[in-house]
Amino acid sequence: MTNRYRALFDLTGKSALVMGAASGIGEATARMLAGLGAQVVCADLDGAGAKATAESIVAEGGTAQGLAADLGSHEQVTEAVQTTVRAYGGLDIGVTTPGINIRKRLSAYSEDEFDRIVGLNLKGTFFFLQDAAAVMAEQGGGSIIACSSMRGLMVEPGLGVYASTKAAILQMVRGLATEVGPRGVRVNTIAPGVIDTPLTRPLRDDVRTRDAYSAHTAFGRWGSADEVASAVAFLASDAASYVTGENLVVDAGWTVMDGRFDPGR
């Protein structure tokens, strides 16, 4: 009985592509999927970093390869998908994590800055969803996980454009889930909260910001990339076989808390 339940989370023999695998949530996800048995292609704009992640997986007994790929380039996204298919015979798990932000008020945004954020976060995710879903629909199954954010549900000053792309990703994933579900393909999002990654490191290094953000969570701390990768692994596995079009929030309660009340004070 125990083995049957454990098998639900076993990814042995599954093929996976992780965009953004050079660092942060993408790197942690690539390592975790490989640790659960998946054969992983690690892709990132930082090709050297992606290859380093793959090499570390291989050194630990896993199966992986790395390549340079820009999520903002449809041609390179297509090549990453096809590389996975050629290497491992298909694409069972597709994960995309890259995102960028320029923290400033909407009134201060230039058109070029707007295009940069939307071009990578939203349009790049669109490229990935389109290509991964096409392969999975043809083979009759698979799991796609895109990275949204708690900022897709709530926002603070300076994050209007970033938050808009993350909210749009939610709806795009939901739409795709309804379209490819009949072909056995599941499509979901994760919504990380305050996670310690290279993207958020400048905020975390500022003591006031770090402490303020920590205090807004139920646990009083920032999360780790591994804690988000665990959520991705669940959605990728057969344990989530009846889950599609959903957004799994990994934020230590940030989006459900409206301040704190301590009756002891």
Active site residues: 162
Please give, one letter per residue, the 3-state secondary structure of the chain.
CHHHHHHCCCCCCCEEEEECCCCHHHHHHHHHHHHCCCEEEEEECCHHHHHHHHHHHHHCCCEEEEEECCCCCHHHHHHHHHHHHHHHCCCCEEEECCCCCCCCCHHHCCHHHHHHHHHHHHHHHHHHHHHHHHHHHHHCCEEEEEECCHHHCCCCCCCHHHHHHHHHHHHHHHHHHHHHHHHCEEEEEEEECCECCCCCHHHHHCHHHHHHHHHCCCCCCCECHHHHHHHHHHHHCHHHCCCCCCEEEECCCHHHCCCCCCCCC
